[in-house]
Chain A
Amino acid sequence: MTAHRHLRRTFSVLAGLLGLAYLFPLAWVVITSLKTDGEVLHAPDSVIFTPTLSTYAAVIQSGLGAILTSVVIAVLVTAAILLIGIPGAFALGHSFGGGWIRVVAVVLGILLVLQMVPQPMTIIPLYGILARWHILGTLFGLILADIALLLPFAMMLLRPYVLAIPQVIYEAARIDGASVVRAFLSITVPMLSNGIFIVMCVIFISSWGEFLYAINFLPQGATLPVSGLLAEQNSSYVAQWNRVMALAVLTSLPLLIVFLFTQRRLINGLSMGAVR
């Protein structure tokens, strides 16, 4: 069994190296965002410096509108997806009997196809459709597009949680005289709380990070969300890396917060939804 112990030690070292390969870029982003303009320009690779929050102060001061836009988009998209997606997932996961299972199969197929379509490709017809319906260049149009982009994923992620609710509970409720609507509201929704939490986090993080629709569907000169601002930095030639990295940290802020508090729950939840 010495070989085994030897292997274990090698694996620990390898796992550590792997962790560093993923931690280093993150650490570098944070370190750079704590430098001043001058330090980034003259000694970009230095790790010995006095960290300062001045870059954040500048970015937040000039980007307060952007943060507000991000909050509005992410909150509204998340709320709408939960409102639409929870009953939707219930319909796809609850056994209603009759020919309903065939409808479920068709809808699941459509959801899969919609998830497969690359975003840079749907954006082309969507641009035309939003223009024709006169909601191109409005926050409302952008939010609708975001909802449609993330809804299939939300429903697929939530469905296994609906399936996991034992049928017996519904039968007991029916015998007690509870209607289907009542069962949905007082059995399904409370029992889905874990799944709803995961979906809420994932959708909030995704809608906060979405930028392609934002930079194309919002009008020229509009207040972009933080993610859009970060994507636009791309086209400016003089890269102020400390600012870009501060924006990057702001773009990942919801994820950071969710992760710090609910790491284990998130990891388990995501792997459950992804495998099934």
Chain B
Amino acid sequence: MEPELLELIDACKRGKSRAQREVYRRYSSMLFAVSLRYTNSREDAEDVLQDAWVKIYRHLNTFSRHHSFEGWLRRIVVNTAITHYRRQLKHAYHADIDEVHATPADLDAFKDLDYTREELDHAIAQLPTGYGTVFKLYVIDGFRHKEIAEMLEIDINTSKSQLSRARKYLQDVLAHMSLTALKPDRHEA
């Protein structure tokens, strides 16, 4: 970790307002994107981010400088969002299990992946809540199944199976998108 960042973190621990503002400005855009990913609306994302920042400054003493500061921040935001939607998510995990039928998309159909982030956003948003959360945590934010299981209070095997189903579901959605107006030129060739 950079010495400058360490000094900044130490100043935040001492309650220095200037340092707190500096840390906020460095990471708020990245964290707002994370918050938007795990919430259903921009208003919820703002609420979650605000709560997360207060938690960050309150628990800064527990941060170990041997770990990634960005990863630590990201985790707090994700945890705050999950807590925000916990009741809804718990319901989703149990409701989703039989909801998605086997939609095995042929992975060879994705040899030429060429989707914009907006298209991916649109596809991921169609995932059932439980699948979508596990998929985003694992694939986009890089959490491991053990961490995901702890965060969502589910079994590790549940996390793995949800990820597997999410992949299939997403591939199916993307294949479907390719056939529709979103990608009219994809199959013309």
Query: Are the chains A and B members of one assembly?
Result: no
- Which residues on A are within 8 Å of B, measured CB to CB? none
